C-alpha cells in the first residue's frame, strides 16, 4: 500500500490466534499507535495460552495499550462506558479518528451444530453490539472478520465475492453471514465505512488446538489415530497467518483512504487460492514431523463443506495482497513453533 498510516485501533478478539498475531505486528511496526484490546478470555481453549500470546505486547507497550476483559455480547451502552474509560487512560479525547477491528467470534463449524444459540449470540448479536457501539461513539470505520464458510457447499469455485451467498452450511456460517448483513445495514443507515474480510482456513504459529493442523500434529506425535472425515478428497484453502495479518493491516490502511460521503461495505476474500486436500495435508505433516499417521476414516458431517477456494483478485487489487508462502514451508514454521511452545508449556 502506498500510504501505511495506521490509526489508533480497538481490536476485539485481541488475545486469539489472529488477534494476538496482529497485535504483535502492529506493536513492532507502528510504535506511535494506541490500541484498546478487547477479549473475554473464554475457555473454548486455554485462557492461559491467550494471556501468554499478549504478554510481550502488554509488557513492552504499557503506555499505549489498554486491555479490556469484556464480552462483546454486552449491551452497547455498557460497552460504550467501558471503552470511554479506556480512552481516558490513553489520554485521548474522542474516538473520531479510531478504527474498530472486529475479530472476536465464537469459533468452530462442527460445535455450532450442537449449540447454535450461543453462536448467534456471540457472532451475530455481538457484532450488532459492536456496530451500535461504533455508532454511539462516533467510530466511522470498521474491519469485520468474516469467514469462507459463508459460501457453503453450493458456490462454484473459486469463491468470488460477487457471488450471492444464501445457503450457509452450519449455524457458525449463518451467524457470520448475518453479521455481514448487519455491517451492510449499518453502512447504509449510519454511513459506516466497513470492510468484511472472509478468512480462509488460517494456520501457523498460535493456531487453535482444535483445528486440523494443530490437532493432527499432536496426535501424530502421540501415535494416536487421526479422524479423517470422508475419503480424504475434501480440500481447504489454507492461508498462512502472516499473510492474513498483512491483509488485515492493508485493509485498515485502505479504509482510511475512502472518503465517500455515505458509508460503504466491501467484502474481500483473504485466502491463498491454493486448496490442499485432506490427504495431502496429512502427507505434508508426515514429511515435516518424520512420523507416519494412523488414520481412522469416518463419514463426512452434513455441516462440512467439500472445498474452500478463494478468488483473491479483489484483494490483490485493493489490498496489494499477494499470498506466496508454499504450504510445506508454512507447515515447517508451524511445527517449529509447536515444538517450542510445548517445551515452554
Determine how β-strand 65-69 pairs with β-strand 35-39.
parallel
Active site residue 229: no
CA distance 8 to 34: 5
Of 30, 119, 172, 321, catalytic: 172
The packing angle between helices 126-137 and 76-89, to 10°, is 60
Count the alpha carbons within 13 Å of 186 in the hemisphere toward its beta carbon: 29
Retrieve residue 247's grid coordinates: 491483509
Which of 23, 76, 92, 72 minimizes the C-alpha distance to 245?
23
Determine how β-strand 276-277 pairs with β-strand 235-236.
antiparallel
CA distance 130 to 123: 10
What residues have CB less than 8 Å from 21, skipping those under 6 apart?
204, 205, 206, 241, 242, 244, 245
Catalytic residues: 172
Amino acid at each position: 500500500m502506498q500510504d501505511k498510516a495506521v490509526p489508533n485501533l480497538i481490536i476485539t478478539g485481541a488475545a486469539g490466534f489472529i488477534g494476538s498475531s496482529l497485535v504483535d505486528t502492529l506493536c513492532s511496526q507502528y510504535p506511535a499507535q494506541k490500541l484498546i484490546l478487547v477479549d473475554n478470555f473464554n475457555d473454548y481453549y486455554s485462557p492461559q495460552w491467550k494471556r501468554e500470546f499478549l504478554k510481550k505486547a502488554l509488557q513492552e507497550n504499557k503506555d499505549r495499550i489498554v486491555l479490556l476483559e469484556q464480552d462483546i455480547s454486552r449491551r452497547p451502552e455498557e460497552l460504550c462506558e467501558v471503552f470511554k474509560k479506556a480512552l481516558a487512560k490513553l489520554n485521548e479525547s474522542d474516538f473520531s479518528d479510531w478504527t474498530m477491528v472486529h475479530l472476536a467470534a465464537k469459533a468452530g463449524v462442527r460445535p455450532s451444530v450442537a449449540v447454535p444459540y450461543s453462536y448467534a449470540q456471540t457472532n451475530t448479536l455481538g457484532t450488532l453490539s459492536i456496530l451500535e457501539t461504533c455508532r454511539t461513539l462516533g467510530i466511522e470505520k470498521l474491519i469485520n472478520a468474516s469467514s469462507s464458510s459463508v459460501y457453503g457447499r453450493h458456490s462454484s469455485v473459486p469463491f468470488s465475492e460477487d457471488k450471492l451467498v444464501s445457503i450457509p452450511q452450519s449455524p457458525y456460517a449463518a451467524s457470520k453471514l448475518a453479521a455481514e448483513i448487519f455491517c451492510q445495514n449499518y453502512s447504509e443507515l449510519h454511513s459506516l465505512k466497513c470492510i468484511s474480510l472472509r478468512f480462509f482456513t488460517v494456520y501457523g504459529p498460535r493456531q487453535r488446538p482444535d483445528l486440523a493442523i494443530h490437532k493432527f500434529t499432536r496426535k501424530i506425535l502421540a501415535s494416536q489415530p487421526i479422524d479423517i472425515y470422508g475419503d480424504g478428497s475434501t480440500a481447504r484453502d489454507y492461508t498462512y497467518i502472516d499473510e492474513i495479518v498483512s491483509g488485515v493491516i492493508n485493509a485498515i490502511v485502505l479504509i482510511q483512504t475512502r472518503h465517500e460521503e455515505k458509508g460503504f461495505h466491501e467484502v474481500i476474500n483473504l485466502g491463498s487460492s491454493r486448496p490442499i486436500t485432506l490427504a495431502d495435508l496429512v502427507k505434508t505433516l508426515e514429511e515435516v514431523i518424520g512420523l507416519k499417521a494412523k488414520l481412522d476414516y469416518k463419514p463426512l458431517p452434513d455441516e462440512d463443506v467439500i472445498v474452500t477456494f478463494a478468488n483473491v483478485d479483489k484483494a490483490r487489487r485493493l489490498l496489494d495482497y499477494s499470498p506466496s508462502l508454499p504450504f510445506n514451508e508454512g507447515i515447517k514454521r508451524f511445527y517449529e513453533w509447536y515444538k517450542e511452545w510445548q517445551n515452554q508449556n
